[in-house]
Amino acid sequence: MKRLIILALLPLLGACRPQELQPLDGSISVDVSASLETLVGQEDTDGDRQITIKDAGPRSMTLTSADGARSVSIEGTYPLSNLLQELALATDGDSEVTTINLARLFEHPVARISRMIKDYYWDGLTRRIDAEGLSRIAVDTKSDAVRPRIYVPATDPTAYSYFSGIASETPDLDLDVVRLPREITPEYVRSINDRPGILVLGLQAEGGTLSGIPFVVPGGRFNEMYGWDSYFEALGLLQDGRVDLAKSMVDNFVYEITHYGRILNANRSYYLTRSQPPFLTAMATSVFDAMEPGTARDTWFRTAILTAIHEYEAVWTGSDRLTRTGLSRYYGAGIGKPPETERGHYDAHLAPYAEAAGVELESFTEGYLNREIISEELDAYFVHDRTVRESGHDTSYRLEGRAASLNTVDLNSLLYRYELDIANAIETVFEGELEGHTPSAWRARAHSRRELVDSLLWDADAGWYFDYDYETNRRTGFQSATALYPLWAGMASAEQAARLVANALPALETVGGIASTSSESTGQTGPDRPQRQWDYPYGWAPHQMLIWKGLADYGFSEDSQRLTTKWLTMIARNARDFNGTIPEKYDVVLATHDVFVEYGNVGTQFDYITREGFGWMNASFQVGLASLEPDWLERLKADTDF
């Protein structure tokens, strides 16, 4: 590291050749296009429009000022990749010349990642559904749709009038505005699978003009507002002082529940019958705590909590999801294969059916998709498959083929947290009563759920929480990171927490943090049993963030700090070595983003600079970094230096 810095700062120290290299004042003005062309031509030897440790260039460049009077030598992959990023940012302007701050090229990776997330990535991920934002949000690489289409709930005439006006006033947009029926059925959703489109979110009046309430998308192919992603993104936004944007995301969830009946898997037409893991009470409470005190804040929070109560009663304890055990399940209603999945995703599962039918796999798949081939067994499988997607853990062998039959640890932990959050809100903010709801009634619900979880999901012999299959009346025994959710929810006793930590961390902890499942439970994978992205050896931001908080809350601070540091070290090293890459997921065993399981790795494909990172990965970095104690922070910096 010292060698690289000294080489770069020689001109600043006056140790330079008399004419070409003159002392600099910490910056240099360069020709953007010429510098970019030289840098890429010299250093990007594999042609991926990034500068990484895989490139075989000289790893050295003399950067000359636009007037030719001054030069500075930049040495090393990391400073050169930062130079590439700074030049890429400069292409956004109109000027052919830009001033490069040399300190930015040698900024510590941890500091640079955090700054880029705060200053650039949140804005890069922000969307609106309105006249200005439609062209950007309408893009959906998960479908083959060509014509932009927007679906409007029957209960929002203002939105229908607004978007119909846009379609009429801008015929070149070729916007198809569709009013949804009042009752959304699986049959209706299937009928529009070949006409996918965006589902509107909230509108707000700004200066007498309607505009879309903003929200953050995960990034890449996920160009819409997702259910549980949004909670973690909101935590990152709050950490970075973006309270209004986090509040807006809660407002959009209130809109979804009001007009679509649930928080959606995401606001696309093919997600209309699916929700995602419930975090609204925790999200609204976090935003409430960050807002300026006053009547407006309390009124806003009242609406959010009442809406969460409606969601709890109509969705999570409604007839589709409340099971005979008294605990809830995920349940993704729908008919046939989910249309948003990539071609070939189900080949391994469909192949035996095609063989039994005596037809080619492609023909069988097409026939089943068009309902020319009817299979009750496959229909049942796809109910489970859609349920996996509602769980957010798509996909995992923990859930495959049985998701709709499970009372999962994760869902029932989240609902326990809902019950306590609602009780606390009523007691502390609304003086003990909220439209007939009382703290005692909600605490009684939480107590009842905890007893059922202890009875059915807690395995005292193993010292683990396991999902419970209410069809077979037995625990699955599948070891998953979701076993630690009860710590985040505050549902475990001190004794349960101690036993769980003693058993779960050795089975799940890796070089880069917590793996989604244990190697033992995941089992062998191969052509007939493909690797699933929510299983070992992969790790995901939401698991890490919930586990860090849960461990800290139960007094396992050392474990929490260690796991946080492992995760951030992995992110920072990969970003340092691979042009700032902040992807969707990691192989936490090898501590690499070089992952191509199922859908690949969103966030790794970009030219010159990532403008977005990935939503909940950004959040995990900001939240994790803010939580580190000084000695762990120093360890992180030392382990990620360049």
Taking the CB of residue 292, how many other CB atoms lie within 10 A of it? 7
Catalytic residue among 311, 394, 410, 419: 394
Least confident of 332-336, 431-435, 500-504: 332-336
Which residues lie closer than 8 Å to 327 by C-beta, 6 or more apart? 407, 412, 449, 452, 453, 456, 457, 468, 470
Residue 341: how many other CB atoms lie within 10 Å? 17
Q: What is the distance between the alpha carbons of residues 143 and 225, in angstroms, rounded to a whole number?
A: 16
Express each pLDDT in 377-415 by its tens digit: 899 999 999 999 999 999 999 999 999 999 999 999 999
What is the band of 4 on the pLDDT scale with cuts at 50, 70, 90?
very low
Which residue matches tokens 């909101």?
Answer: 234
- Which range among 124-138, 336-350, 406-420, 549-563 shows the weakest confidence by mean pLDDT? 336-350
| Whole-number percent of the chain with pLDDT over 90 | 85
- pLDDT above 90 (res 270): yes
Tokens describing residue 166: 């846009």
Among the listed residues 577, 584, 598, 612, the single catalytic one is: 584
The predicted model gives 249-255 an average pLDDT of 98
Paired residues of 52 in beta bridges? 578
394 an active-site residue? Answer: yes
Contacts of residue 207, Cβ cutoff 8 Å, sequence gap at least 6: none
What was the pLDDT predicted at 24?
40
Could you count the other beta carbons within 10 Å of the beta carbon of residue 562? 18
pTM of the model: 0.94
CA-wise closest residue to 445 among 417, 465, 487, 467: 417
In the prediction, which pLDDT does 7 show? 35
pLDDT band at 207 (very low <50, low <70, confident <90, very high): confident
Report pLDDT digits (tens) over 279-338. Answer: 999 999 999 999 999 999 999 999 999 999 999 999 999 999 999 999 999 999 998 888
In the predicted structure, residue 26 carries a pLDDT above the cut 80: yes
Instruction: Provide the 10 A C-beta neighbour count for residue 204.
Output: 14
pLDDT (0 to 100) of residue 598: 84
How far apart CA 308 and CA 603 sit, in angstroms, is 32
584 is catalytic: yes
**10 pLDDT more than 70:** no
Q: What is the mean pLDDT of residues 580-609?
A: 94
The backbone torsions φ and ψ at residue 178, rounded to the nearest 5 degrees and listed phi first, read -120, 130
pLDDT one-digit tens code per residue, 98-121? 999 999 999 999 999 999 999 999
Confidence grade of residue 17 (pLDDT, cut at 50, 70, 90): very low
